[in-house]
């Protein structure tokens, strides 16, 4: 992620339409609403995650409680803080794209994260993002430059996403 943050800083363009689909976001730490318009000059990582129990054993995204999602959060949080410390808070943002269906589980998951989230009630945006980026498993981290161009389709890294 650090290498991508440096690359994104070089690629940064003055494009205020790249993230126009994100009208309203929720700050995970304090649940306040923020505008997605503030992302226009940042590298953004879309973090597709879930904390729910699968309604069907055949659901391809993840099974019970998505343990890989829970294990990945501290790794991502540490990288998130390092990048923002090195490049500034305005250089990089993570946005949780939840697969949750239960408001309480989503809020519990958000409480562990220092970044932003697409509101759970905004199912249309969530479905569009899952479809646009062909998400078939969780967790998944897709990094976009400030123009909305994909830099990495699976920034979890390493085989199995833990490297």
Span 79-88, pLDDT tens digits? 999 999 999 8
**How confident is the model at residue 31, as a pLDDT?**
80
Instruction: Indicate if the pLDDT at residue 9 is higher than 70.
Output: no
Fold of 2-9+19-156: Glutaredoxin (3.40.30)
Q: What is the spatial distance between Cα 94 and Cα 98, in angstroms, rounded to a whole number?
A: 12
Nearest 5°: CA angle at 133, between 69 and 52?
30
| Domain spans, the chain | 2-9+19-156
Q: Across the chain, what does the average pLDDT equal?
A: 76
| pLDDT one-digit tens code per residue, 88-141 | 888 899 999 998 888 887 887 788 889 999 998 888 899 999 999 998 888 899
Non-local CB neighbours of 14 within 8 Å, separated by 6+ positions: 40, 41
pLDDT of residue 65: 53
| 43-49 and 33-35 strand pairing | unpaired
Q: Could you tell me what percent of the chain has a pLDDT over 90?
A: 20
Residue 56 pLDDT more than 60? no
């Amino acid at each position: 992620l650090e290498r991508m943050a440096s690359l994104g800083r070089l690629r940064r363009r003055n494009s205020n339409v790249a993230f126009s689909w994100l009208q309203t976001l929720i700050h995970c730490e304090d649940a306040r609403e923020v505008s997605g318009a503030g992302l226009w000059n940042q590298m953004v990582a879309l973090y597709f995650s879930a904390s729910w129990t699968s309604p069907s054993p055949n659901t391809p995204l993840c099974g019970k409680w998505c343990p890989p999602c829970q294990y990945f959060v501290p790794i991502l949080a540490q990288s998130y803080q390092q990048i923002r410390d090195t490049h500034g808070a305005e250089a990089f943002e993570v946005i949780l794209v939840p697969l949750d269906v239960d408001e309480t589980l989503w809020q519990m998951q958000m409480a562990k994260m220092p970044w932003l989230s697409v509101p759970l009630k905004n199912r249309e945006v969530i479905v569009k993002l899952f479809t646009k980026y062909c998400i078939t498993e969780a967790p998944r981290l897709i990094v976009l430059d400030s123009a909305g161009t994909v830099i990495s389709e699976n920034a979890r890294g390493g085989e199995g996403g833990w490297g």
